[in-house]
Amino acid sequence: MNLSPKREIENLIKSAHWQGKAKSLKKKLRGISRIFSSKSHSSPDDFFFSFEDLPPMGKEYWFLHFSSPKSDSQVILTLGRSKEPVEVNKTALASIEGAGKAGVPCAAVCWLYRNKKRVLFDSLAVVRVERGKGGSRLEAMGGKASVLVSGIYPDFDISFREGKAEVFSARATLPRQGLPFEFVKLLDNPLAPGLSSAMVNYYFDFSGTLLGRPFSGRAYLQKVVAIMPLAPWNWVRVDFANGDCIDFFAGKPFGDAPAIHFADKAYFEHNGERMPINGKLSLSSWLEGEERVWLLEGQGIFLSMRSYSLQPFAMRSKTTFRYDEYLVRATDFSFSSGGRRFSLSSLGQGRGIVEEASGYLI
């Protein structure tokens, strides 16, 4: 008899095997959290440059984003894997039991925009990670393209290649302003012990070349581990020419009703100071595809954006999960807090990303 997804999850989290592996992973996440809380940088790379021992329903992914607020140029790499077999953009990925020296197949999309969209690889890449006293490495290879991130925090070298040609290269260093990193625990549900999600976000300034031309701006590197089904979310991040930024995240496990969102988080960062954006925010949109227009608004905040490129990502197992990355330009912005007011005219041009995830992946 086929069980419903809900019943399958309930049975899974009651099993001793699942609880043991989930407990072990959560213990490691607590250790990583203590490292970042104490501001001791002796081993933060151990989390970013590693494969975790995932329990059933476990997932991990990496996200790298490079943007130049004064131009449309952006570079994005998304890598991820799931404990269970999954089909990604019509490419099947088998269940993963371990990470050998040959690397691990991961769902992957690597793409960039400079005057036009260019996809380096889609659906699948083989990923290897290494750690050593001389530095750590994360390498992804898909078809004729490859990506390499190497170094020791807080200095990383990044290289994207297609065949023998170097498409993108950069040096990432500590940001001139703002937080250099953060550890975020998104969910720890007492009603379902073991289900959780946590991430490490690194913030950098970077300088390098893209398609042979100078390219510099803000970099965002992220590693996420989740022991739970993937559920809908929206994420908005826009960097402005003066160095400020706005960041908004909303998890939507039961759809768009704001009353049942979880882990909603929004802030505006000015001269390195993070100002929380309180109250209910709504993200709405019009039109479709690369012409999509977005509006993020709430008390004291108004941000309108226009898409100019789109990369879709579809994952299928017993259910279907869709994840779309939109590159956007800020067309209008207003924010007020504590008697201070900010607008697009004072911040300069803004570029960034809107993520829209829908459906579910167990």
Higher pLDDT, residue 288 or 230: 288
Q: What is the pTM of this model?
A: 0.88
195 and 108 both lie in a single domain: yes
Q: Which residues make Cβ contacts (< 8 Å) with residue 16, sequence separation at least 6?
A: none
Q: Considering 194, 228, 262, which residue would you say is the last residue of a domain?
A: 228
The DSSP string of 47-107 is HHT----PPTTEEEEEEEEEE-TTSS-EEEEEEEEESS-EEETTEEE-------TT-EEEE
Average pLDDT, the chain: 85
Position 311 scores a pLDDT of: 95
> What band does 320 get if pLDDT is binned at 50, 70 and 90?
confident
Taking the C-alpha atoms of residue 299 and residue 30, their distance in angstroms, rounded to an integer, is 35
Which of 33-37, 197-201, 267-271, 340-344 shows the lowest per-residue confidence on average (mean pLDDT)? 33-37
* Residue-range definition of the domain harbouring residue 312: 229-362
53 and 122 both lie in a single domain: yes
206 and 237 both lie in a single domain: no
Higher pLDDT, residue 145 or 94: 145
Cα distances from 64 to residues 2, 172, 218, in angstroms, run: 39, 11, 11
Which of 18-22, 147-151, 197-201 shows the lowest per-residue confidence on average (mean pLDDT)? 18-22
Which of 83-87, 341-345, 350-354 shows the lowest per-residue confidence on average (mean pLDDT)? 83-87
Here the tokens at position 340 are: 């201070």
Position 131 scores a pLDDT of: 85
Higher pLDDT, residue 200 or 261: 200
> What band does 149 get if pLDDT is binned at 50, 70 and 90?
very high
Position 30 scores a pLDDT of: 67
What's the total number of domains in the chain? 2
Position 47 scores a pLDDT of: 82
Taking the C-alpha atoms of residue 229 and residue 203, their distance in angstroms, rounded to an integer, is 27
216 and 299 both lie in a single domain: no
212 and 267 both lie in a single domain: no
